[in-house]
Amino acid sequence: MSKIIFGSVVAIFCCNSLLAVSADIIFFGGDILTIDERQPSVEAVAVKDGRILFAGSQHQAFSYKDETTQSVDLQGKTMLPGFIDAHTHILAMEILRTSLDLSPLTHPDFDDILKILKDAAAKGPVTAFGYDPSLMKKTGELNFQTLDAVSMDTPILVVNKSGHIAYGNHAAFAAAGVDDSTPDPIGGSYQKKDGKLTGVAFEVPPIVRLLSSSPAMKGADYDKMAEEAARWYARNGYTTITDLGLGLPIPKPLEDIEYLRKAVHASDAAVRIQGYLVYPFLDHFKEIEKLNDDRFRLLGVKIWSDGSLQGHTGALEKDYKDVHSEGKLNYSQSELDEMVLTAHKQGIQVAVHANGDKAIKDTLHAYEMALKASPAEDPRFRVEHATLADKKLLKKMVSVKATPSFTPLHIYYYGEVFEHQILGKARAEEIDSGKSAQDVGLKFSYNDDSLGILNPLELVQIAVTRKMLDGAVLNPEERISVEEGLRCMTIYPAWQTFREKDLGSIEKGKFADFVLLDKNPLKVSPDKLKEIKVLQTWLNGKPVDWGISVK
């Protein structure tokens, strides 16, 4: 009897508590997937002051309603926490997205590429993106010889789809002040033959120099670029995006941070932005970190340890299948160890780009040495891409407290080429091993790394089906569930960036950042995930794009 009385008192107290607080907005009437394993779905969500006040039954949610509360009938659609892009390059993406398109999927013939460049150069300086000989039917080499033949006077700069190789004519290199005597920057190189430039540059530092000096980029409205990029992500369902290259000189070192901060602090901001500072600006980290708030947050530092597998610049333990080369490391083991430790000792999270198995191995060694020198309970070291991480390397990640962020577009775009040409079947089957990562207990995320597919559900579809361009499946044993795929686009990237208390799931106290979809991802065929449409996103409970009526 006393237990019943006690329960009644608690119930009365709870009801009174509900009535004491009114919600600003209540969402109901659709499938609400919380990505909270303790409560995977709810009937309604109440929001107050930009945060989630309650998530649960519709009856209880409406206990928070008064005459000022707005209500949103989801009309049978599906709401989730807003998607989190775990790894992109915001301004670089916007520059390249609006550049001349040379994608091999639409331009598979080398002669066609040269014609497109010639037509564009007749109108002025050219910046192009997407060229990738590994996916072309008829290929050739872009360099001084071929690009000077297109135009001697008009600067032409072409960035490989991987982002790790750039090609230019003499005019483009001259515009950047690069000549035969220019030394290679740390972490990159200008290709030379017999001491002479060839018109090809490898890795981020030299590419950024060429890109930011391109006449096509001078005078660009970077404020507008930042705003448009943010809205582009929002239209694809993202509410938080993570830039893994803050500080790159586009147009000047560290200036990009101000453009991005302006975009997210506008009254009609579309997304939150967080990111990692490129390592050369480590000394500026603590100063910039003081600017952190709920809209913009500096998280750590970024290092590139190798390049791309499709460009044969990713560092492998054994030669590529089609060329006598193991790729190239950007740093020696001792150099990488020192860089990681320098940041780690300051309590700064470290993210290292590592595609090849050799680069991943070196990265994990650097993390292990850093932990021995400066023990930390929860460093959440990041391994960006981790493309060729086999089961042994994945287990090593667990032991050194690291977490990978995979790029499943490698499976879709390059799986067939990796299998038959670049890596061979055995190594190709190990790329982006989601199920193995899950089995060893890793939390991991998925990203598109500015490769052109921003649709988060398409990334999930690729990870769930592991289908390649030709429709074949690359190692079905590594497929994951749709539920796990959704976590990889929400709560896991929130955890990777130490934001799990604020982002990534629909739970009381977290930011009211939501996305509305026309279909429930758990109720459609995995092959149809990418066809699901984003109807609306909300940031702090406020709609970014009005896709439904708010009453």
Burial 250-286 (b: 16+ CB within 10 A, else e): bbebbbbbebbbebbeeeebbbbbbbbbbbbbbeebe
- For residue 162, what pLDDT band results from cuts at 50, 70 and 90? confident
In this predicted model, what pLDDT tens digit does every residue of 509-540 receive, in sequence order? 999 999 999 999 999 999 999 999 999 999 99
For residue 139, the model assigns a pLDDT of: 82
Average pLDDT over residues 475-487: 98
Under DSSP, is residue 169 helix (H, G, I), strand (E, B) or coil?
A: coil
In this predicted model, what pLDDT tens digit does every residue of 451-470 receive, in sequence order? 666 899 999 999 999 999 99
Q: Does the pLDDT value for residue 549 go beyond 70?
A: no
Q: Which of 23, 161, 156, 35 is nearest to 102 (CA)?
A: 161
Under DSSP, is residue 461 helix (H, G, I), strand (E, B) or coil?
A: helix
**Max mean pLDDT range (103-112, 244-253, 368-377):** 368-377
Looking only at the bridges linking them, the beta strands covering 445-446 and 514-517 are unpaired
Question: Greater confidence, 187 or 393?
Answer: 393
For residue 19, the model assigns a pLDDT of: 52
CA dihedral 420, 421, 422, 425 (to 10 degrees): 20
Residues 6+ apart with CB under 8 A from 369: 337, 340, 341
CATH class (in words) of the domain with range 240-501: alpha beta
* Cβ pair 171, 147 in contact under 8 A: no
* Cβ pair 454, 236 in contact under 8 A: yes
Where does CATH 3.20.20.140 sit in the chain?
240-501
In this predicted model, what pLDDT tens digit does every residue of 286-335 receive, in sequence order? 999 999 999 999 999 999 999 999 999 999 999 999 999 999 999 999 99
Where does CATH 3.10.310.70 sit in the chain?
100-212
Q: Which helix (H) or strand (E) holds 495?
A: helix 491-496
Helices 333-344 & 357-373 angle (0-180, nearest 10): 50
Residue 276 tokens, joined: 């990692």
* Cβ pair 506, 81 in contact under 8 A: yes
Q: Which helix (H) or strand (E) holds 496?
A: helix 491-496
Q: Which of 204, 262, 257 is nearest to 228 (CA)?
A: 262
Share of the chain above pLDDT 90, in %: 83
pTM: 0.91
Question: Greater confidence, 199 or 4?
Answer: 199
Q: Does the pLDDT value for residue 16 go beyond 50?
A: no
Q: Which of 206, 236, 385 is nearest to 309 (CA)?
A: 385
Q: Does the pLDDT value for residue 163 go beyond 50?
A: yes
* CATH architecture classification, 100-212: Roll (3.10)
In this predicted model, what pLDDT tens digit does every residue of 82-141 receive, in sequence order? 999 999 999 887 877 778 999 888 899 999 999 999 999 999 999 999 899 988 888 889
- State the Cα–Cα distance between residues 354 and 455, nearest whole angstrom: 24
* Cβ pair 55, 39 in contact under 8 A: yes
Q: Does the pLDDT value for residue 217 go beyond 80?
A: no
Residue 491 tokens, joined: 């709560």
